Amino acid sequence: MLDKHLHPRLKPVLNRLAQALDKPGVSADGITLLGFAIGVLALPFLALGWYGAALVAIVANRLLDGLDGALARRRGLTDAGGFLDIALDFLFYALVPFGFMLADPAANALAGGWLLFAFMGTGSSFLAFAALATKHQIDNPGYAHKSFYYLGGLTEGTETILLFVLGCLFPAWFAWMAWVFGALCWLTTFNRVWGGYMTLKGLQRHEGAN
């Protein structure tokens, strides 16, 4: 919901940073891998209860995730880079709730499992429609900077990272936040499945009429 409003404001800053990094030996895919490696550190940090360190790893991961895209746009987006980016993003989004579950299984395991279950809904509906949108060449003007179709919703990347940040700042409240956010994710999933189905159904009727 907030991504399309936040991205245009961050884009100039990321472009300036990408310009400074645009040197031989620095690649967008390399930044993607570095960002993921730093993000993975959030898992043991959370499991150990080092919430401040986990917060730094999460924020650094997201910063590098923005930089890899900005650098890729300077040099030309590639399918391989887009695939690597989204695959590692989804792994990162899963490992953070798992870290909270390890930190306090008694309090967080059920809520964290609910959140991961909800992430499966948002992730599968997102990726399934993205694949078919490419096949049918559906334009996506709201997220033209993405290398594949970006289907929005109530819970996008910005809201998810805000959840992770709040979880690190207020770990005792993670379970409650996970229950609420998981419910919002299911609303997003329902909207994506219904909206995606109706969009593709309409295209099918249109193509059949032609």
Contact 84, 29 (CB under 8 A): yes
Question: Tokens 């472009």 map to which residue?
Answer: 15
Tell me what pLDDT residue 142 has: 46
Tell the residue number behind the tokens 């990321």, with chain if given.
14
Nearest residue to 14 via CA among 54, 59, 74? 74
DSSP string over 23-67: STT--HHHHHHHHHHHHHTHHHHHHTT-HHHHHHHHHHHHHHHHH
**Cα radius of gyration rounded to whole Å, the chain:** 18
More confident residue, 88 or 18: 88
8 A C-beta contact, residue 189 and residue 121: yes
- pLDDT of 146 higher than 60: no
Map out the domains of the chain with their CATH numbers.
1-206 (1.20.120.1760)
**Tens-place pLDDT, residues 174-202:** 999 999 999 999 999 998 888 888 888 88
Span 1-56, pLDDT tens digits: 665 666 667 777 777 877 887 788 889 999 999 999 999 999 999 999 999 999 99
Query: What does the alpha-carbon distance between residue 210 and residue 195 come to, in Å, rounded to a whole number?
Result: 23
Calpha distance 104→99 (Å, rounded): 9
Average pLDDT over residues 79-85: 90
Name the maximum alpha-carbon separation found in the chain: 60
Query: 21 and 160 in contact (C-beta within 8 Å)?
Result: no
Nearest to 3, CA basis, from 148, 162, 191: 162
- Measured in whole angstroms, the distance separating CA 61 from the mean position of its chain's CA atoms is 11
